[in-house]
Amino acid sequence: MKYRKTAKPLSLLVASLLAFQPVTALAVTFADINQVPWPGAEVSINKAADLGLVVGETINGKNYFRPKDTVSLSESCQFAYKVLLQTKKASADASVTEKWATVLNTYKIQDWAHPAISFCLEKGIISISDLSNFVKNGTNMPASREQAAEILGRALTVGVPSYKATASTTKFVDNASISADARPYIALLNEVKIVNGDDTNRFNPKKTLNRTETAVMVTNLYEKLNSAAAVETPSTPVSSSQSGKVAALTNFYVNFENSNAYYLYTSASIPVTLNGDSSSVAEVAELFKDGSAMSAVVTLNESNRVTKLTVTSDSAKKEDTKKDTEGVITDMDYDDEDEDGKIEINDKSVYHVSDVNDVTIKIEDEDGDEEEYDWEELLELFEECKDDDKEIEVELTLNSKDKLTKIVGSIEEDSKSSSSKPKGDKKGDVADVEYDEDDEEGKIKIGSKKYNFDDDTTIKIDDKSADGEDLLEAFEEAEDDDEVLEAILVLDDDDDDYATKIYIYTEAYDDDDDDDEVSGKIQNMTYDEDDEDGDIKVDGDTFKAKDADDVEIEVQDGNTKLDSWEELYNAFKDGKTIDVELVVDDDEVTEITGKVTITKGVLTGFGDDHLKLKGKKSKATTKYYFTKYDRDDEDEEEDWEDDVKDINVKGLNNVDDLYDFFDVWLDDDDTDLDDDVFTMEIKLDKDGFIVEIDADLD
């Protein structure tokens, strides 16, 4: 179920309402049956209860069904599983539940749903990628009508293989609003009269599903499954081994590419061979974590547990796959609930960590003693160092997938002085400051533009921590003394009107007095790789870079930053239009900032919210997003659709038509982009999002 929009949570049914019950509760009476959404629905509810497909909750001796409550994605899998069990088209298997337990715990799926969701994963009714939508912030997410229908439709094809979901369209008038993955299953359910539309023949795919609608669907599904012949049990046993390229490998399990199955070890001490030599689970897990590509063969017992692991690695030397970056920690964050975080180096480079427990951290104190830290302890140390005018110099180790694996560092005296300044997005003289002490919000004016800040904004005045009230006071004092404050602002990536950091200096710098600033489009560039120098022509003038590696470069290109002369040169040679600001000293360029406004390249892939292009000269692949809004957030869904609707796709009506063309071009299931060359020119807005697409299939 790709490209799934997730509904916003509403009231959820407690898990106990869906606990398995034997089929003995005949003529069930619900105290709230008169609250059904439409007349006649009580017939389906009572029938579903009699069949043991739904149950109620007993409160003060009365049984309540809650017909208008929403149904979660977990409960939708529970319904599918229960119908298949009741019609004997499936049987409970504890080994399957045990096999998927680690994966389900990773996605915080509640224990009561493990048997049903494990079964659905095992049978391909859902996939692992779907699980991220099931629980958010500890809350079971409600199912939309199309999500629940796809789950039940897939269950029908599992229970009765003669039913095929092959249609690419449905008969509903809002067919275009139904996701492409769900359409075949909704069309099948409609054809066999399990689901219907409303009075206007609309399916309303994005609306949430209530318990009454679900009772109708599962009752209809029960009739279809119950009347079909039983599925024969395969006579051939499950293979005693599995092999393939490794997609995930930890101290607990191994998963292969293009497979939903996670194979658990019988123990951590099983026999392990790495490139023909004896090894251990811990060693190969560490090697995979560091970015080594692997193939493996697992030997399984009768419970599909791994009893032997044989690994072939194309890079048994960890150091060959690692990359290092150095600098001073300038910001950190930690979410103790999700155990993720981020670390910023040199006010510039930010590294996000999905699981902080995977990062090894060692910091040397001022006496030279090294100590191990976890992420939360490092955050506390960072805050202490800021208060004591100290800093933590670190070397970060990244694997070949640019994932942070190790931090090694030491505590040093703060190296900042009045003659050095941090890198920012906006700098200039402060023209005005406004601050509301009650709301703890304010505005700072640089030139003619105002930037918002609040109590979450980091503020420093002459390298000392300050707040909004201090900033206002410093500005008023400077006005009284006929002085000028200099400001450097770091702006939010998603809102360039909001300053996340404000650095204020009460004395002018001397280091930039002789520098000139030049703005415009890059008209020409040269690069001598041997001599490591080059020229750049902007606004009719040509400026030299005697040592291109010394030029500070930060040019935004889609979701990436061009930060070297060679990368910027290759982007220009790819035919990209690049707006830049140069800092020039004696006709020598020292700093380049800017953004790509028109990009060109060959399509190498696409997702629900982006396109991926590869340059002909640079060979680098870059993602370009349609909009900043999240399609999976119901609050932002309308903004997302409005932005995408405004994108001009030359030769087609809109982005949906472009994706329909992709489907035809790729013959639906084909995802191999190497056979054809799809050249694109994409125009970007000031924030780097797509506003116009011009495509040509060569």
- Are 284 and 298 within 8 A, CB to CB? no
Dihedral sign (CA 11, 12, 16, 21): positive
> Which residue has tokens 């309303």?
204
B/e letters for 136-147, b = 16+ CB within 10 Å, e = fewer, are eeeebbbbbbbb
Output the DSSP codes for 348-411. TEEEEES-GGG-EEEEE-TTS-EEEE-HHHHHHHHHHHHHTTEEEEEEEEE-TT--EEEEEEEE
- Are 531 and 545 within 8 A, CB to CB? no
CA gap 181, 654 in Å, rounded: 20
Residue 84's pLDDT is 92
Cβ-proximal residues to 292 (8 Å cutoff; 6+ apart), any chain: 313, 314, 315, 316, 318, 321, 400
- Are 150 and 79 within 8 A, CB to CB? no
H helix count then E strand count, the chain: 13, 37
Output the CA torsion 462→467→469→471 (10° steps).
30
What are the backbone dihedrals phi and psi of residue 457, each rounded to the nearest 5 degrees, phi first? -80, 130
Residue 510's pLDDT is 42
Helix axes 41-50, 211-227, angle to 10 degrees: 60
- Are 47 and 53 within 8 A, CB to CB? no
Structural tokens at position 20 = 């398995």
Burial of 25 (0-12, 13-18, 19+ CB in 10 A): middle
Residue 229's pLDDT is 55
CA gap 188, 159 in Å, rounded: 14
Closest CA to 470 of 482, 457, 451, 489: 457
CA gap 346, 350 in Å, rounded: 9
- Which residues of the chain fall below pLDDT 70? 1-28, 229-239, 259-262, 268, 303, 314-324, 348, 400-402, 415-421, 423, 507-515, 663-677, 697-698
3 state DSSP class of 598: strand
What's the Rg (C-alpha) of the chain?
A: 30
Cβ-proximal residues to 366 (8 Å cutoff; 6+ apart), any chain: 411
Residue 577's pLDDT is 93
Residue 320's pLDDT is 41
Cβ-proximal residues to 23 (8 Å cutoff; 6+ apart), any chain: 50, 51, 52, 86
Closest CA to 578 of 527, 615, 523: 523
List, in sequence order, the alpha helices (H) in 603-654.
Answer: 634-645
Residue 672's pLDDT is 52
> What would you measure as the largest C-alpha separation in the chain, in angstroms?
92
Q: On the CB side of 698, how many CA atoms lie within 13 Å of its CA?
A: 11
CA gap 71, 366 in Å, rounded: 57
Question: In 135-239, at which residue ranges do the beta strands (DSSP E only) sit?
Answer: 135-136, 139-140
Looking at the DSSP bridge assignments, the partners of residue 331 are: 344
Residue 27's pLDDT is 45
Burial of 619 (0-12, 13-18, 19+ CB in 10 A): exposed
**pLDDT tens digits, one per residue of 501-538:** 999 988 654 444 456 788 889 999 998 888 788 899 98
Parse the chain into domains and list their residue ranges: 15-227, 241-319, 331-413, 426-505, 517-698
| First-to-final CA distance of the chain | 31
3 state DSSP class of 230: coil
Residue 20's pLDDT is 27
Burial of 277 (0-12, 13-18, 19+ CB in 10 A): exposed
Cβ-proximal residues to 223 (8 Å cutoff; 6+ apart), any chain: none
